[in-house]
Structures are given as structure tokens and as C-alpha cells.
Chains A and B, each alone.
Chain A
Amino acid sequence: MKYLFLLPALLLAGSQATAADLTVAVSDAGGKPVPNTVVTWIPAAGAAIPAAEKGKVFVMSQQNVQFLPYVLAVPAGATVNFPNKDRVNHHVYSFSPVQPFQFPLYGKGKSHIMKFDRPGTVALGCNIHDSMAAYIRVVDTPFYATTDGTGRVMLKVPDGAGSLAIWHPGLDAPEHQMARALKLAGPSAQTFSVKVRPSAPTAGQY
């Protein structure tokens, strides 16, 4: 699955002669890898998001009364599919100012789609299952990835100046985001040691 997310970067790397491997490792204060961290590279020169990238299929499924994945990074303008794979109904909503919406109760096998144009964070909940929570991170760059269980990603990015940013819903920082300016010339390895709060509530009182 994660290879799927890396694909756009690989494709880009092939089209540009001066591309560099930017390896990013995120760990917490105790040295444990932090998964579900969205890593983005925004070149100073700017980079348009190719249409192919926008046209990709992004899925935020409901399965076992949980959202999957917990964090989903999508480029601005992408469409996300919300299939219900459970036998129970779900009422998916978001009150996030970036894009408030709701899909009133829908049953198994049914799906809704939603296009996300504005970059930002969309917190997802289920009206009838308080324990369900997930985040869609809408990014405004073609160079993005989400860390896996090892807390690492590798981005194929062009050399030159830019801003490397990481985002995690539990990151103890303003807007849950940290950024650092870099000037890349060839491969680079960046590490972030961060303070991450425990995950969002997984169990309610109801």
C-alpha cells in the first residue's frame, strides 16, 4: 500500500535530471519511530501538482468500526472515496473549517466521494460511533508521503531550496506541524525528534 503512495515521487524523479533522494526519519523523544506523519517538501520555486496525481484514487474506508487509514495525505484537488465495509451503518462528518461535510447514515457496500480542494486538515468522525476518528491532510505540493511503521519516508525531490515540513495529529507544535528550510544538492537524510501526544480518543463513554 505504501508503495502506492511513493509512486508519484518516483515518476517525478524519472522526468527530472537533477533529482535527489530526501530521506526523512521521524522518532519521538524515546527514539521510537512515529508512523502516520505526513512529510511534505515545498520547493522555493514552487511546484504544480500534476493532473495525474490529482486523478489518483484515494480511499478512506470504514472497517471494523474504524477509519482506515488513520491519516490520509492527499494533494489539493484530489477526490477521496469513503466506502463502508462494515455491516453497520456510519454517519461520517467533519466540522473542520477546511471542508465541513457529512454523509448521513449509509450501509454496507455503499460509498460516498468527496473532493478536497483547499489544503489543510479535515478531522473525520462518525456521529454514531464516538470512538471513530481519522484525519485527511490536504497538501499543496506534489512531494509528500506518510511515514510507515518505521517512521521513515524517502522523497524524490529536485535539488534546490525549499521547505521540509512534517505534520501529525498529535504533534505538540503549533498547528501540529513542524517545518525546516533546506537547500538540497544531492541526497539528504533528515531526522525529526518530536513530542507526540497519544492518539485521539479511541473509546467514548457511549
Chain B
Amino acid sequence: MIMFKRLSTKLSVMFGGLFSLALLVIALACYMAVVSYARTSVQKELQASASVFQRIWTLKSEALQSNAVLLSRDFGFKSALATRDNITVESAFDNLQSRLNVEIGLIIGPDGNPVVGEAGALGQSLAAALRSKDEFNSDTAALTGIVAIDSHPYQVMAAPVMAPDRLGWVVFAQRLEGPEMHNLQGLSSIPIKSSILTQTRGGLWLGPTEQTSDYKPSSLSFFIDQSLHTKAASMIGSNHGTMIAVATSLPNLDNKQKSVLLLSYPLSEALKSYQPLLTVLLGIGLLGLTCVIIASLYLASNLTRPILALKDAAFALRDGKPGQVKITTHDEMADLASAFNDMAVSIEDRERDITRLAKTDLPTDLPNRSAFEDHIARLREQGVENGVVVVCIGIDRYAHIRAVWGVSYAHTLVSRLQDILIRIFANAYIARLSADTLGLCLNPCEAEQALPLARAIAARLDKRIKVTDDQSLDVLVSLGVYHMANARPSADEMIERALIALDQARASKAKIALFDPRIYSELADTLLLTDQLYAALQSKVLEVWYQPKFSYREGKITSVEALVRWNHPERGFVSPQRFVAIAEETGAIRDLTLQVLQTCLADQGRLKSAGFNLDVSINYSGRLLSDEGFNAKALALCDTAVGQICLEITETAVIEDPKIGLAAINTFVSRGLEISIDDFGTGLSSLAYLKQIPAHELKIDRSFIMEIESGQRDALLVRSTIDLAHGLGMKVTAEGVETAASFTLLQAMGCDIAQGYGIAKPMPFGDLVLFLNDFAGVGATKSKMPVYRKRKAS
């Protein structure tokens, strides 16, 4: 199937093609009819000519025959022939021949050989043909027929001489070529060409060369056989074009020979009289074809024009342009166009609605964040050389307001704020970015004007604002400001940065914050660091360092605190506070704690083999206490420990989730683990919890210890805490012991254990063994601060 790209082409080709085909068929039929008629008439003419030929031939031969018979019946002639009186016979024959004006003639004697007349090859052939005739056959009284000598046909009339037995023959013959045949051709109304052909022994039909040279012998012979069979005229090709021809059988003198009369007539001659008719037909056909093609083209373009208009309108509609079709007619296409127009209008309406919904905060009818982005994007397109400022205004305690006053009241509040802002900045674009955040975009705005602008906003909004007629509210806002000129960020990024600035402002309890790219990049870095932490945990590259803890009572190092260290190939040592915080946020703290626990247990075993039986303290995140599965896993590991394991738990974690936390701590204690309250004094302490926790140790935060020498109050707090802990049955560890003075002071206060740079910095396991060996010697002087040796961490 041919695919048309255009409907009009398809219609044109189909209509035009169909009509052309019909015309062609009609023309063909006309031509065939004309040719057929011409052929039929020529056929009839040919058949008529054949009959005429036969008739004329019969008449002609009958005249000769009667004379031959007359001679053969003459008694004197018979007598002369019987008595072999050849002179008399010849004279009688000559007499007749001259009277009849016949060229060829002969007398055949009783012995079957020519006696007088034609004695040559022709005479012998005729004699031979007649010898075969049955002498008793009464029908042979007089014979007439064709004899061909070397394909040259002769018409032969033979009369037997009977006395009463056959004595011989009187024979006359005439050539059937040249003038004889021309005479025959003259009798027909049309110039028919006639020739006589004789079949040879091989089956080929041959005739005089000048009459048959136009044809191919084989095709001619085939044609004659066909024609004799069908008895009808038909076509045959010749050197002078196609001929209409018919062959009719002719009687032969000798039954062994077969001859035919071939009448032919050129087809072109037959058609000549119909030429004007055919020309007219062709002209009419061409004219009709032209009309059909023009009409098809017109019709097709007429039909497809409204469709093309609809197509253009549909494309316009697709591209978001108004697509309306002009209606010019009143037919089905017009209905379709009208329906299309209605559809286009309703699509436009709906699109407007959708756009409005998508770009509007419905409760306040303010533009939403998406609309805000669009606005900034438009500004960027226009060029922001003069600078753009984006201010995010966060309503503090919005959730609280909504909870107390209701949602619609909260929305009304936002609308009021917007009213105020629009009154100050007539050319500002204001949108509601989220429930409690308004965005304000001002352009142009110099960078220096950004902060004053924010302050003006804050000053105007931090007031008692009348929300409804009978209700007013004290409003507090925080502002994040982002200013941009000729910078890359997209609209989305700009808003995000202003929002980050708002977060920063709130985090730092400031009223207004400018976007700080440093903090922004830290946030990005934190994400990267999280990934890297996961990778580090996966490849177990985190190390565990140990900080020795000095026991005043025993005067030696009795325990170590395990501290995780991460030596990143690019970053160097990453702050433990930072990555542990990330681990706690992301849940990686589980893997981290397990790895530390495993390492500690192994190291404790190695220390024991080296002769040092030390307690190992491990930081246990408060978050983990609420994970019962992890607790069980940690417990199982700790059961394999060769020495005492102490879990250091920050007080805040316990207080955050006391129920599960206390249960977990009780389990740990019941399984022989020691519990230590870490960083005591910094969390929101509750004496009630302190009482409930069955801790073995209380670690006083370094911030108290650092000030112990100078601050009277701190010293008092530490002393009281030590007493309190002892009272509760706990031992006390002081963190951050860095000077000999504080070391001594703490000893005096009754502190049990000291930990800090004054004793030793955290060190890798390898250094720990060296340190312990070195320290053993110094350990004798109990009351003195141990000698601090600076060691390089490896």
C-alpha cells in the first residue's frame, strides 16, 4: 500500500486514478470494438472473395472442361487415338487448343504417357497424377483440380477418352500465378492479395516465391493449418505489418497433394477508414482525462482545506497559542471546526484554572513558591545587573498560633502580613513559600541595601498586629536574606539560599541572617562526609585510640577510655564530634560502636597478655539504648571480654528516654558491665534520674575541671558533686585534668580518677603499651602529677 503524506494527494490520486482507469477501459473497449469490427468486415470480405474465387474458377474450368470432354467423346478422335494415328490426334488437338486459346494442354495415350502437347516435366507430372486415377471410377468422367509443380500451382482440367474402356486423357492446364491471380484480385471490392500454396511432403505450405516471401515459412504454415481448422480469418504477421488472412482448401487433381487459397489483406488498410474515429475517441479521452484530473485536484483541495486549517489550529493549541478555526461553510467540517473551537476555548479555560491552582496558595490567594520561582526566573531573563534581593520571612511560633487560634486565623494572619508588606514595598513580589514563611523579592536592589531592607521589614512586622476586627496578636518574625547580582544560582537555588539564611538566623537566635556561603558549603560537605563515613566503616579504616585514666587510690593507670579516630586520606583527622554526630544522625552509630567494641575487646586481650589488666571504657550513644536488638548484640560481645568493660553514657540520652534507657542499663549492670555517666553537669540534670541510674561512675565534665583552679564556685560544685557521687555509691572521674594544680586539688577533693592531657593524650594502641611500660616506673610517687611526655601520634 502506498502511503501518501498528504490527504489531498491521496484523494487526487484516488479520484483521478479511478476515473482515468475507467476512461482507459472505455477507450480500450472502443478501440477493441473498432478493430474487431474492422476485422470482422474484412473477414467477411475475405470469405466472400474466397467464394467468388471458387465460383469464377468453376465457371472458367467448366468451359475448358466441356471442350476437353467434347474432344474426348469425338468418335474420330477416339478412333485416331485407339489406332495410334498420332498425326490425326495432334491436328485435332491443335485445332481445339487454338480455338480455346489455352496455353498448356496435352493428350495422354492408352499407355498413360503424353502423346501430343506438353511433353516436358509438367506433362510428365500431369500424366503421373492421372495414371493413379481409377480407370473404372465413373466419377472420373471429367476432372478438375490443382496440380503444383515445384510449388507453382496449375489449374488442371482432364477429360478421359472412353471407348468404352479408357483410352487416354484430354488435359488442359493454366498457371495460377501472375496475371490470373491479379484478375481475381480485381474482382474484390477491397485490394485483397491472393495466392495459392501447396503442402510439401514435410508439411510446410509453399507457394510461388513472389507471393509468399513476405511471410516466415514456419509461421505461415502454422497459420494455414489453424485457418483450415477454424475456417475463419485471423491475424498473421508479415514484412508489411499485420495481415488479416484466411485460407480455404482447394480441390487437387492428385489426392496426395493439398492446396489452399490464401487471401490476405493488411490490417492497417482495414483500420485506415476508422482512423478519424479513433483520433476523435483519443481526443475525447484526453480531454476527459484532463477534466477529471483538474476536478480531482479541485475537489481534493476543497475537502482538505478545512482539515489543514484544523491541523494548524491543533498545532497552535499544542504550542499553547490560541487555536481558533475560521468557519466558512455549513457542512460536517463546519460542525467539526465549531466543536474544535469550543474544545480549544474550554482547554484554555481549564489550563488557566490549572495554572492558577498550581501557582496560588489557595487559603490566602497569594502566589505560592512555584509562582515565586517563576517571578525570579522572569527577572533573571530580563537581567539582574542591578541586583535582586530575596527575603524569606519566617513567622515564629506559627505552629503554636495555628494550634491555639485555628487554621483560618493563621491564614488570615499571613494575609495581614502580606498587606503590610505590600503597603511598604509597592513594587515587591510577595509569595507564601510555606505555611509559616513569606517570600519577598525586590528588584533592583543594591547589595548594601539588603540588610537595611530586612531590618525595615522586621521593624514593621514585629508588632502587635490586628488580625481580625476584635483580635490582635504579637508577631515575631525571623528573616533570611539572599542578595544576588550577576550570579549563577537558579531561581530555585536563590529561594533555597534565602530559606537557609532564615534557618541560620533561627539557629543562631538572630533576628536577621544573610546567607552565609561558608555554612552552606559545610552542609554540602557534611553530605559528602556521610558518604565517606559509610565507606570508612565498610573498609574498617576507623582506628581506636586510648586515653589512660589514672587512679589516685592505686597510684597507677587502671583503665583507658576508647576514643574513635578517623584519619581520612585527604581530610586528615576528622573531628570526632563531627563524624560521630553524623553517625548518630544517620544510624551509622551502630556499625561504629560495634567496630569500636570489637577492637577494644581484642586490644584488651593483647594488653592482658602484655601484663596490663586494664578496664576499658567505651562511649555508648544514648540513642542506642533504645535499640533492644543492638543492646543484646553488644552484650553478647562484652561477655567475651577478658577484663572489665565500662559503658560511658551521656546523661542527656538517658534523660531523653528514661524508661527504655533505664531498663537497658539495668540489664547491662546485671550482666557485669559497669555504667558511667559521661559529661556530667552539662545536660539537664535531674537528681531523680541520677538516683535511679545504677551507675558505677560519674564523669565530671571538663568545663568544670578547667575552671577549678580559678573559680571558687566551680571548685565547690566539683567537691559537692564528688561527695554526692560517693554518697550514691559511685566513683568519680575528673575529665580535662591538664595541670599539676588541678591534679593535686582533685586528689584533695577525694576524686577517684583523673583523665586528661595532664596525664596523657589519647594514643594509638602501639603507643599505649610503650606508655604503660614507661609509666610503671613513675607510678611510685603517688601524690605527684605524672610526668607528661609528649608523644607523637603515629
Contact = CB atoms under 8 A, between A and B. Distances in A.
Interface of A: 93, 95, 100, 123-125, 127, 130, 132-133, 170, 197-198, 200-206
A141 B79 CA distance: 31
Nearest to A94: B163
A127 B75 contact: yes
B162 A130 contact: yes
Contacts of A124: 164
Given A95-B167, A130-B164, A170-B136, A204 B78 contact: no
Contacts of B69: 205
Contact of B163 (A95, A197, A202): A95
Nearest to A126: B164
Contacts of A133: 164
Interface string B666-701: 000000000000000000000000000000000000
B165 interface: yes
A95 B136 contact: no
Contacts of B142: 205
Given A125-B163, A206-B73, A200 B136 contact: yes
A205 B142 CA distance: 10
A200 B73 contact: no
A127 B164 CA distance: 9
A82 to B, nearest CB: 16
Closest 9 CB pairs of A and B: A95-B82, A133-B164, A197-B136, A125-B164, A127-B75, A95-B163, A123-B165, A201-B138, A200-B164
Interface in B61-103: 69, 73, 75, 78-79, 82-83
Nearest to A169: B165
A204 B134 CA distance: 17
- Most chain-A CB neighbours within 10 Å: which of B82, B134, B137, B164? B164
Interface size class of B (residues with CB under 8 A): 10 to 19
Nearest to B138: A201
A93 B167 CA distance: 14
B164 A198 contact: no
A105 B163 CA distance: 17
Contacts of A206: 73
B165 A197 contact: no
- Most chain-B CB neighbours within 10 Å: which of A95, A198, A206? A95
A66 to B, nearest CB: 12
A204 B83 contact: no
30 contacts: A93-B75, A93-B163, A95-B79, A95-B83, A95-B163, A95-B167, A100-B83, A123-B163, A123-B164, A123-B165, A124-B164, A125-B163, A130-B162, A133-B164, A197-B136, A198-B136, A198-B137, A200-B136, A201-B138, A201-B164, A202-B138, A203-B138, A204-B73, A204-B141, A204-B162, A205-B69, A205-B73, A205-B141, A205-B142, A206-B73
Contacts of A132: 164
Contacts of A123: 163-165
B138 A198 contact: yes
A205 B160 CA distance: 12
A125 B82 CA distance: 13
A133 B163 CA distance: 9
A100 B82 contact: yes
Given A133-B164, A202-B138, A203-B138, 10 more contacts: A123-B164, A123-B165, A127-B75, A197-B134, A198-B138, A200-B136, A201-B141, A204-B141, A205-B69, A205-B73
A200 B164 CA distance: 8
Contact of A130 (B73, B79, B83): B73
A43 to B, nearest CB: 31
A198 B134 CA distance: 11
Interface in B130-145: 134, 136-138, 141-142
A203 B139 CA distance: 11
A117 to B, nearest CB: 20
A200 B83 contact: no
Contacts of B73: 130, 204-206
- Main SS of the interface on chain B? mixed
Contacts of B79: 95
Interface string B321-348: 0000000000000000000000000000
A125 B78 CA distance: 12
Contact of A95 (B78, B138, B141): B78
A128 to B, nearest CB: 9
A71 to B, nearest CB: 13
Nearest to A125: B164
Nearest to B136: A197
Contacts of B136: 170, 197-198, 200
A204 B162 CA distance: 10
Nearest to A202: B138
Nearest to B140: A201
A123 B82 CA distance: 12
Contacts of B163: 93, 95, 123, 125
Contacts of A130: 73, 162, 164
A124 B164 CA distance: 7
A19 B655 CA distance: 180
Contacts of B138: 198, 201-203
A201 B162 contact: yes
Nearest to A206: B73
Contacts of B164: 123-125, 130, 132-133, 200-201
B89 to A, nearest CB: 13
Interface in B92-139: 134, 136-138
A204 B139 CA distance: 10
A133 B164 CA distance: 6
- Most chain-A CB neighbours within 10 Å: which of B73, B82, B163, B167? B163
- Most chain-B CB neighbours within 10 Å: which of A93, A201, A202, A204? A201
Contact of B165 (A127, A198, A200, A203): A200
B133 to A, nearest CB: 12
A112 to B, nearest CB: 18
A201 B82 CA distance: 18
- Most chain-A CB neighbours within 10 Å: which of B69, B78, B165, B167? B165
A95 B82 CA distance: 6
Contacts of A170: 136
A127 B163 CA distance: 9
Nearest to B135: A197
A202 B78 CA distance: 18
Interface string B154-198: 000000001111010000000000000000000000000000000
Contacts of A125: 163-164
B76 to A, nearest CB: 10
Nearest to B167: A95
Contacts of A202: 138
A197 to B, nearest CB: 4
Nearest to B66: A205
A202 B141 CA distance: 12
B156 to A, nearest CB: 19
A111 to B, nearest CB: 21
- Most chain-B CB neighbours within 10 Å: which of A100, A132, A170, A200? A200
A198 B75 CA distance: 25
Nearest to A124: B164
A124 to B, nearest CB: 7
Contacts of B137: 198
A95 B69 CA distance: 19
Nearest to B142: A205
A127 B167 CA distance: 15
A95 B165 CA distance: 10
A23 B136 CA distance: 29
Interface string B40-69: 000000000000000000000000000001
A26 to B, nearest CB: 18
A125 B142 CA distance: 19
A190 to B, nearest CB: 26
Contacts of A127: 75
Interface string B368-400: 000000000000000000000000000000000
Interface in B530-565: none
A170 B142 CA distance: 20
A66 B644 CA distance: 176
